[in-house]
Amino acid sequence: MQAYQKRALAVCDWLAGLRRRISVRLVKGAYWDGEIKRAQQLGMPDYPVFTRKTATDVSYVACAQRLLSAASTLSPAFATHNCRTVATILELAGDRAFEFQKLFGMGDALYEALFRSKAVACRIYAPVGSFTDLLPYLVRRLLENGANTSFVHQIADPGVPLGELVADPLEQLPEPYVPDPRIPLPRDIYPDRKNSLGLDLARRDVLDSLHRRIAAEKLSPAPPSIALDSAIGRATQSFESWSRVPAAERAAVLERAADLLEERMLDLVALIVREGGRTCTDAVSEVREAADFCRYYAFQSRKHFGQSQLLPGPAGERNELQLHGRGVFACISPWNFPLSIFTGQVAAALAAGNTVIAKPAEQTPRIGFESVKIFRQAGVPEFVAQCVAGDGEVGASLVADPRIAGVAFTGSLETAKRINLALAQRAGPIVPLIAETGGDNAMIVDSSALPEQVVDDVVISAFQSAGQRCSAQRILFVDAGCAPRVLQLVAGALAELKVGDPAEPDTDVGPIIDAPSREALLRHVEKLRGSARLIGEAPLKIEGNYIAPIAFELELDQLPRTEVFGPILHVCLYQRSNLGEVLQWIRDTGYGLTLGIHSRIDSFVDEVVRAARVGNIYVNRSMIGAVVGVQPFGGEGLSGTGPKAGGPHYLPRFATERTLTVNTAAVGGVTELLTRT
Amino acid sequence: MQAYQKRALAVCDWLAGLRRRISVRLVKGAYWDGEIKRAQQLGMPDYPVFTRKTATDVSYVACAQRLLSAASTLSPAFATHNCRTVATILELAGDRAFEFQKLFGMGDALYEALFRSKAVACRIYAPVGSFTDLLPYLVRRLLENGANTSFVHQIADPGVPLGELVADPLEQLPEPYVPDPRIPLPRDIYPDRKNSLGLDLARRDVLDSLHRRIAAEKLSPAPPSIALDSAIGRATQSFESWSRVPAAERAAVLERAADLLEERMLDLVALIVREGGRTCTDAVSEVREAADFCRYYAFQSRKHFGQSQLLPGPAGERNELQLHGRGVFACISPWNFPLSIFTGQVAAALAAGNTVIAKPAEQTPRIGFESVKIFRQAGVPEFVAQCVAGDGEVGASLVADPRIAGVAFTGSLETAKRINLALAQRAGPIVPLIAETGGDNAMIVDSSALPEQVVDDVVISAFQSAGQRCSAQRILFVDAGCAPRVLQLVAGALAELKVGDPAEPDTDVGPIIDAPSREALLRHVEKLRGSARLIGEAPLKIEGNYIAPIAFELELDQLPRTEVFGPILHVCLYQRSNLGEVLQWIRDTGYGLTLGIHSRIDSFVDEVVRAARVGNIYVNRSMIGAVVGVQPFGGEGLSGTGPKAGGPHYLPRFATERTLTVNTAAVGGVTELLTRT
């Protein structure tokens, strides 16, 4: 018998006397460390995140207590190789029925000792499956058991006293409880700014109040149009004073706007759901992204515009570089992120010291006006940010105006090209155009990928927001070897998607933005029905401007070379030996916005990354949902001009640089030389 | 008698016995601390720069010895209030004639003691003049006498022993001699790169070898034109491999190019003088600027392209931002800086990972080919940087080619606008245009400025390089109060300018680039002769493509609103109360390249700086000669698109950004959480 087995038996014996002293307290929820990631991504400060292993141990006990208290309707089972947990369960269970579970080959000594002293049910389980299925499981096991805090690790270490090994976890928690300061809570994961607040849509009370708010949302009449010419005139007159507001003050205004966006979360979600037809989940993300943009650009403004950058040079001369606003910026945004893209463009232009004429999409004017209202509440003067509603003609007049000193645009490639041409045809200076356009985005899945993970991410990437994101997946390249299983799962997942009213919390896919868009998509689907193999489609049980998410299998040369802006997935099988052809095909589209890769082989990932000319690449996750400052967003080639929104190079493009050189020796001498010698 | 006077007398007495022991050694040249600035600006590592006051003291003695040894032809005079210096001069002079000079009211005790013991001539002088003339002199005096190392300061300090006060300066120098490490030598003034080497055109031997080299320069036939289409094709094919060369390697190649430029200084100066018609001084500055560009962009490339920027985000995810080349860049440069602008554009494009088709101006193709040859010698592969000669039509074909992924252009506004329109009319992606164009640059002089300083800087700014710099001064706004004196000096300075063969070392102003340009300038001068008051002009004693630098006085509404690219200065008098009108006039031109300010009143400088929308502002110095990394260069409005050449935001504009997001938790867990707890 090995030393650690002897120790295990000793612990069991010792615990027998201790069992009654084990204290149990209910801790809310049951989560493991992986939850930290999700909570951070959701930005929820009150999400029950365990930053200490001891808290997880307590939670285990609390959950056990809950399960056992429902033992009449549930058959509780407890998987553990930890003798303290075993003792605790025995104590909590009393006479109630339950079973233990242990992994085949582990904890043998512990359970032998247990069987010797007490009649208890124990199921022995063993993972069974192919290498590909087992790999992630084994890696996680290695990580867990290798950790210093692991029971399996500690029991084998004679330096750890038995008392410590079986100590009451509650007693090990700090009193009063504070999270481990080494693991930042969701609100604090960024070094330079607050993370945005989320909304926990898994909570019944939150859902209820959101639902009431949406139901009460009556879309007011579209805001009245204002005269473009005089709006630009006022913005021009306001530029001088706004550009001289210190950057720190402009930043503070943007941070107030971020706070207001969070405070008005429910109102904004309701408006986005109603005017934009987006689901609640999408709408919450949008409000968060808008707040993130405000805080990120506020930080960047302080950093780059807050003070001059001193440049090294010869003695007797002071050289500084400063960034300044350019003038009136036109911000033209789309309907698919009616709040966040609108707000992001305006925040960037303001942060850099420009005044703004912002034109929301004609489908979603109310949200644009609401955003500008929030900026004004936060302290942006009236004529520094103005919203003008209207169609493409209003946009055309806007960019053709010689007083417009720069344009930020997100939308179709065709419109971006028209704007660029209009700007080039204007008399006067050459002004910047920052354009984010479309993509023909693919995900490449190799045979080592985990099909379940792949399909989860495909469903999110291709069908969330009804595929109406520029980042959305249009094409799935899947290795022929694993294609049958992956496509079977895709078909199954499609069958489960709920297409419906975005106000309903269980809706996965909302409507298409307008009838012409829907008709174009339906024509595309009809064409595919005639020429491609149907993989699966979602049920469509609702009347209105909806289409059913759908997937087809096509040959490489049948794949679309332009953006199909809806929930239609084009699947193409490939052989590993033909990967080069696939990569070349993607490059030949000329687009370069997003790319997904699913693989557990690093060299495969590297090969694809090296060949890609794509702005945002995502490995082993979905390819949508770029977070401000974390995944700066924007493509290359036909997909956009750069610089990336929510990235460190964005603000300088809204600015002009000035150098100031002062001959400090002109007044009579080089004083710094005297102070140095 | 005050204490310090007693000490002075004691020192004198003491020195009487010491005089014969004073050792004197010849030190090269005689300079003061202000020379450090000039030497740093000239980048000369062997320039005799004194980084220690003691070295200056030794130099004084050395110069005294030289003067006294020529006492038969010179009448040496020694201004000093330092008793050790007095003793030294007395010792060195022996029987030779000389005089001392002392400032009225200073050193009285010293000279009283001296007169008592020895018959010696001493002239007492006093500065006389108006407040404006005296101010800089007084400031310098205050700085000097206030310094701890000043004799005047030390003799009044009873804590300083007499022995120390009169110590032999040679014994105080470190042996072997090293410069004071706290004052960087010219080669080392930048923290991240070497300063470029200069050429000391004040040295006879340097001038002689340069002159021989220029005389030997036979302009070879213009290089043969190569087929544009296949050149672009080869550049396109070479992009992939060059863009994957690690940034550190690309940087090392550029640094080798900088070293080669310095090594080939004489050849390049000769070529620039002959093909570009630039003076030797201008040509040396150009070679230095070209080397500076290479080293600056090498540093920037290492910094921004060398490794990914890790972005903060949630646990279980790795996010990185990378910069990559865009493809084939077209670099189109002008004749007025045929080496430095050409080399700078190419170096930037290469540093960012692009391949390059570079078109030099049709007037200066040889210099362009020479630059590319140096890049290749330094290790740039053949098809990564190619030079194509030709006129505007070649340029037009170049930018119209869909394989061109970006354009860097320096030249006229009209051409920049044409390029921009051609790019906008192309099918395919919207590509970057980085354009530096012209200016209508003014200097504003207020009544507190020192007229001599002003005129020195006006002559440099308006007439150096025959006014053929985009930064050159076109307009002088001078306060009516000081205008008579300033304009008198301008006229005098013009009369002294030598217009002539740029190969001659004493030539101030070389030729106009070509006959059509000269004729256009002459037409402008003729018009001015009929409508404006002539202030002065340089004598013109040479046949050829020259015009005489000239200055006219005009009313505000007569001033040119477009760029006059030659040595023609337009002067306009203003009243302080009408400064706002002047500033508005400058803004109304729409240009914003350079602006000079001469004033000794901070609030005046601030007012002008705040009102200016100008890329490069220079206070109390000339407004040309921007140094890479020290005065990042480029204007706004009609003067250019930005970002500034030789500045920190330049390289990213040649690049595209990519974000890589890896779900590190997909393999089985969030390892960083385990290592943190």
Tally of CB atoms within 10 A around B552: 21
Residue A182 pLDDT level (bands cut at 50, 70, 90):
confident
Residue of chain A nearest B438, judged by CA positions:
A429
Q: Is B45 a residue whose pLDDT tops 60? A: no
The mean per-residue pLDDT over the stretch A113-127 comes to 84
Angle ∠(B538,B543,B545) on CA atoms, nearest 5: 80
**Is B470 a residue of the active site?**
yes
Nearest to A367, CA basis, from A267, A465, A295: A267
Alpha-carbon torsion angle B326, B327, B330, B333, nearest 10: 50
Task: Find the catalytic residue in B217, B275, B436, B553.
Answer: B436
Measure A556 CA to nearest chain B CA, in Å.
22
With contacts defined as CB-CB under 8 Å, which chain B residues touch A313?
189, 627, 630-631
Q: What is the pLDDT of residue B674?
A: 57
- What confidence category does residue A154 fall into, taking pLDDT thresholds of 50, 70 and 90? confident
The CA distances from residue B488 to A443, B532, B589, in Å, are 75, 17, 28
**CA A431 to the chain's CA centroid:** 32
Mutate to test the interface with A, among B674, B675, B676 (most CBs of A within 10 A): B674
Residue of A nearest to B666 (CA): A620
Interchain CB distance below 8 Å, B658 and A615: yes
Query: Which residue(s) pair with B477 in the sheet?
Result: B444, B572
Q: Provide the pLDDT for residue A362.
A: 95
β-pairing, A533-537 vs B655-663, is unpaired
- Calculate Rg over the CA atoms of chain A: 30
Q: Which of A633, A634, A474 is nearest to A563 (CA)?
A: A474
Q: For all residues of chain A together, what is the average pLDDT?
A: 89
pLDDT greater than 90 at residue B17: no
- Which residues from B are below 8 Å from A453, CB to CB? 666
Helix, strand and coil content of chain B, in percent to the nearest 5, comes to: 50, 15, 35
Mutate to test the interface with B, among A41, A142, A311 (most CBs of B within 10 A): A311
Query: Within 10 Å of residue B260's Cβ, how many Cβ atoms?
Result: 17
The tokens of A67 are what? 């399960």
- Per-residue b or e along B616-651, where b marks 16 or more CB atoms closer than 10 Å to that residue's CB: bbbbbbbbbbbbbbbbbbbbbbbbbbbbbbbbbbbb
Averaged pLDDT, A313-330 = 95
Question: Is residue B283 scored above 60 in pLDDT?
Answer: yes
Nearest CA to B446 out of B609, B556, B605 is that of: B605
Residues A480, A603 contacting (CB under 8 angstroms): no
Place of tokens 């006077």: B5
pLDDT attached to residue B106? 82
Average pLDDT over residues B56-71: 81
Chain-centroid distance, C-alpha A282: 11
Q: How far apart are CA A610 and CA B17, in angstroms?
A: 82
The helix/strand count (H/E) of chain A reads as 25, 18
> Roughly what angle, to the nearest 10 degrees, separates helices B53-69 and B83-93?
30
Chain B neighbors of A424, CB-CB under 8 A = 417, 420-421, 423-425
* pLDDT, mean of residues A312-335: 96
Look up B12 and say whether it is catalytic.
Answer: no
Assess whether pLDDT exceeds 70 at residue A615: yes
Task: Check whether B31 has a pLDDT greater than 50.
Answer: no
Distance from CA of A517 to the nearest CA of B (A): 24
CB atoms B647 and A665 under 8 Å? no
Q: Does the pLDDT of residue B225 top 80, yes or no?
A: no
- According to the model, what pLDDT value does residue A107 have? 82
**What pLDDT, in 10s, does the model give residues B73-102?**
989 999 988 888 888 888 888 889 999 999
Question: Is the CB of B34 less than 8 angstroms away from the CB of A665?
Answer: yes
Q: Residue B86, exposed/middle/buried by CB under 10 A (0-12, 13-18, 19+)?
A: buried
Q: What is the pLDDT of residues A434-453, one digit of tens each?
A: 999 999 999 999 999 999 99
The mean per-residue pLDDT over the stretch B648-658 comes to: 98
Distance from CA of B420 to the nearest CA of A (A): 6
Q: How many angstroms separate the CA atoms of A183 and A676, rounded?
A: 45
User: For chain B, how many residues are written?
Assistant: 677
Percent of chain B with pLDDT over 90: 68
Q: Which two tokens stand for residue B194?
A: 């070497």
Flag whether pLDDT at B631 surpasses 70.
yes
SS3 content of chain A, % helix, strand, coil (to 5): 50, 15, 40
Name the band, by pLDDT with cuts 50, 70 and 90, for residue B670.
low
Give backbone dihedrals phi and psi of A51, rounded to 5 degrees, phi first. -100, 0
Based on its alpha-carbon atoms, the radius of gyration of chain B, rounded to whole angstroms, reads 30
CB–CB of B182 and A670 under 8 A? no
| Residues of B with Cβ-Cβ distance to A317 under 8 angstroms | 37, 621, 630
Collect all residues with Cβ–Cβ distance below 8 Å to B396 and sequence separation of at least 6: B418, B422
Tally the C-alpha atoms within 13 A of residue B487's C-alpha that lie toward its C-beta: 22
User: Chain A: residue nearest B313 by CA?
Assistant: A630
Query: What is the arithmetic mean of pLDDT over A647-671?
Result: 89
Nearest CB to B630 within list A313, A617, A631? A313
- The CA angle B520-B525-B526, to the nearest 5 degrees, is 95
Which residue in B83, B331, B470, B482 is the catalytic one? B470
- CB contacts of A143 in chain B (<8 Å) are 668-669, 671, 674
pLDDT of residue B28: 36
Task: Give the up-direction half-sphere exposure of residue A161: CA atoms within 13 A in the CB hemisphere.
Answer: 3
Task: Identify the active-site residue in A470, A482, A553, A607.
Answer: A470
pLDDT of residue A20: 47
What DSSP state is assigned to residue A24?
Answer: -
pLDDT bin (cut points 50, 70, 90) of residue A38 is low
Per-residue pLDDT tens digits for A350-394? 999 999 999 999 999 999 999 999 999 999 999 999 999 999 999
Q: What ipTM does the predicted assembly reach?
A: 0.90
Give the pLDDT of residue B21.
47
**Which residues, in sequence order, are CB contacts of A96 under 8 Å at separation 6+?**
A68, A71, A76
HSE-CB for A159 with a 13 A CA cutoff = 2
Closest-CA residue to A648 (of A254, A351, A271, A436): A351
Provide CB contacts within 8 A for B296, sequence distance 6+: B193, B628, B629, B646
| 3-class secondary structure, B67 | helix
Chain B partners of A241 at a C-beta cutoff of 8 Å?
Answer: none
Across residues A101-127, what is the average pLDDT? 85
